[in-house]
Chains A and B, each alone.
Chain A
Amino acid sequence: MLDVQQITVRFGGVVALNAVSARFDKPVSGIIGPNGAGKTTLMNVLSGFVSPSDGAVDCDGQNLLTLAPFKRPHWGLRRSFQKEEIADDLTVFENVLVQIDHSPTGPLSKHEEVTKMLDYVGMSDRANKPGADLNSFERRLTDIAKCLVGQPKIVMFDEPAGGLSVDETHRLGALIKGIHALTGAQTLVIDHDVDLIQQICAEALVLDFGKTIAFGATNDVLADPKVKAAYLGTEEV
């Protein structure tokens, strides 16, 4: 269970996140909100790229904020970015392998682990293709496989459906839904595709201008008038 407590982030005079709190305990949770709401900033806090001026993040007893950013993946944090960051020079296999390069297990078991996850996302037939030759959906799939190797505890996706077709989005959704059964990890998803969020996320956090405006079961949250106002805009709620 991921417990985000009162996270506040200031960039100079701008308050990007204002005492955001949420307890994520469902297998797949969503983070939604209009542009500039602070969703990616929240993920950046979890990844360690941004230091909050206040607040704490706890996951099953581990205080995440005390871990150095590059050590959080060793603990079990996984992250994909809005733009798929796949190295052009490496093959699909090597791109996924990097994620567990520094875990203490032996090379054979790492090999198996990578093969297993590539199988899961359906990229094992293209495992030796260099990153430069992949199309954007293949890159996204490789990204996902990378997030699943090495016993992840929390997997974070930042707009994974960006630029995907309807079919590809469906496939993506199915893959995300299967993560918990496959690895036991909890998933957080930021996306603008409300249908996708409804399909796969049991609960959702809605941010606007850095503040929490709703948190709870997805359908309840989407029906909340405050949420509708944030997306569509009204004079005052």
Chain B
Amino acid sequence: MTVSGLKNWLLWAAIMAALILWFSWGQRPTMVGLFIASGLAVGSLYALGGIGIVVLFRATGVLNFSGGAAGAAGAMTAWQLETWGLWPPLAWLGCIAVALAFSLFYGRIVAPRLAWRETVVKAVATLGYALIILGLVSFLWADDPRSISLPTDGVGIRFLGMRLTATRLLVFAASIAIVIGIYFFLARSKVGLQMRSLADDRDLSALIGIPILRVETIAWGIAGVLAGFTGLMFADLIRLEASVITFMVIPSIAAAICGRLENLTVVLVGGLSMGVIENLLTLSPLLRGVRPIAPFVIAALVLLWYQRGQKLTFGGKD
């Protein structure tokens, strides 16, 4: 790691420690611990969303705004299937399947028509797709309050004197496992290598014979599965409401920005930190009401930090 990279990590650690100390002043440690734990769970979802965005962006050049919408469609499908009496694990599979289907449809049918356009245009198109999905979901399911629950919600695990919901642990563990899995996938597998090649230089990759369509389909597939999982978890932990889940793409983007749209570890850490800080803000009576904007503020500050000393509007990797 470079010296400046190390300095950034130390700065992050120092700031996080300071913030945690600040918010937990005068509070019971176990309560603070609970807030941090549930913050890690929500942050894992932000990180997973961010990871989906980054992996897809690097492999295809498309910044996908519709991941949240696909997840929302999946979560609503799972709810519907459970309501109709289907065995829950099949309903969850249904969720993933629906999100995957939306993702693959875009990746195979729509995205190739925009393959040679600018990055901004490709991103704008996914916005249109997100609106379509959101409209369909809102149309099919009326605006009533709903909830979805997983068997792990009722299971508690004792850790350091705190009782943590198994779902939260599951999400946190999953996010770390997925990051490690994707890391090894990209680094060790043949498809992963092809994906990295595509991310590095698409035209050159086509010239040396990399099967672009196949690799991109796999990338869209991974994004779809991640979106489905994240949507389901979000529905369980936060709220099962189409527009809320659709716009969870916003904190996912915030996490992705922390990693400069390329570094998965930083996306993970960024997402987790955002979740923790957002949850810790509940302890502050002054800022409690606006804590959902925490990811945005953090991402904005991180972006400004990355830009310090930069003179040009282009050039360099960004």
Q: List A residues at the B interface (Cβ < 8 Å).
A: 48-50, 68-69
* Complex interface: chain B residues within 8 A of A49 (CB): 312, 315
* Complex interface: chain A residues within 8 A of B311 (CB): 48, 68-69
- Chain B interface size, under 10 / 10 to 19 / 20 to 34 / 35 or more: under 10
* Complex interface: chain B residues within 8 A of A68 (CB): 311
Q: A147 to B312: give the CA distance in the assembly, Å.
A: 21
Number of A-B contacts (CB under 8 A): 8
Q: Which of B304-318 contact A (CB under 8 A)?
A: 311-312, 315
* Complex interface: chain A residues within 8 A of B315 (CB): 49-50
Q: A206 to B5: give the CA distance in the assembly, Å.
A: 38
Minimal beta-carbon separation of B39 from chain A (angstroms): 36
- A to B CB contacts below 8 Å, 8 in the list: A48-B311, A48-B312, A49-B312, A49-B315, A50-B315, A68-B311, A69-B311, A69-B312
* Complex interface: chain A residues within 8 A of B312 (CB): 48-49, 69
Write out, one digit per residue, whether chain B residues 282-318 have a CB within 8 A of any chain A CB (1) or not (0).
0000000000000000000000000000011001000
* Complex interface: chain B residues within 8 A of A69 (CB): 311-312
Q: List B residues at the A interface (Cβ < 8 Å).
A: 311-312, 315
Q: A137 to B311: give the CA distance in the assembly, Å.
A: 33
* Complex interface: chain B residues within 8 A of A48 (CB): 311-312
A49 nearest in chain B by CB position: B315
Minimal beta-carbon separation of A68 from chain B (angstroms): 6
Minimal beta-carbon separation of A7 from chain B (angstroms): 17
Q: A48 to B312: give the CA distance in the assembly, Å.
A: 9
Q: A50 to B312: give the CA distance in the assembly, Å.
A: 10
Q: A127 to B312: give the CA distance in the assembly, Å.
A: 32
Q: A235 to B315: give the CA distance in the assembly, Å.
A: 37
Q: A68 to B311: give the CA distance in the assembly, Å.
A: 8
B315 nearest in chain A by CB position: A49
Q: A49 to B311: give the CA distance in the assembly, Å.
A: 10
Q: A68 to B310: give the CA distance in the assembly, Å.
A: 11
Q: A69 to B311: give the CA distance in the assembly, Å.
A: 8
Minimal beta-carbon separation of B313 from chain A (angstroms): 10
Minimal beta-carbon separation of A142 from chain B (angstroms): 23
**A-B contacts besides A50-B315, A69-B312, 6 pairs, CB < 8 Å:** A48-B311, A48-B312, A49-B312, A49-B315, A68-B311, A69-B311
Q: A69 to B315: give the CA distance in the assembly, Å.
A: 12
Q: A48 to B311: give the CA distance in the assembly, Å.
A: 10
Per CB-CB distance, the 6 closest pairs between chain A and chain B, nearest first, are A49-B315, A68-B311, A69-B312, A69-B311, A49-B312, A50-B315
Q: A49 to B315: give the CA distance in the assembly, Å.
A: 7
A44 nearest in chain B by CB position: B315
Q: A50 to B315: give the CA distance in the assembly, Å.
A: 8
Q: A228 to B125: give the CA distance in the assembly, Å.
A: 51
Q: A69 to B312: give the CA distance in the assembly, Å.
A: 8
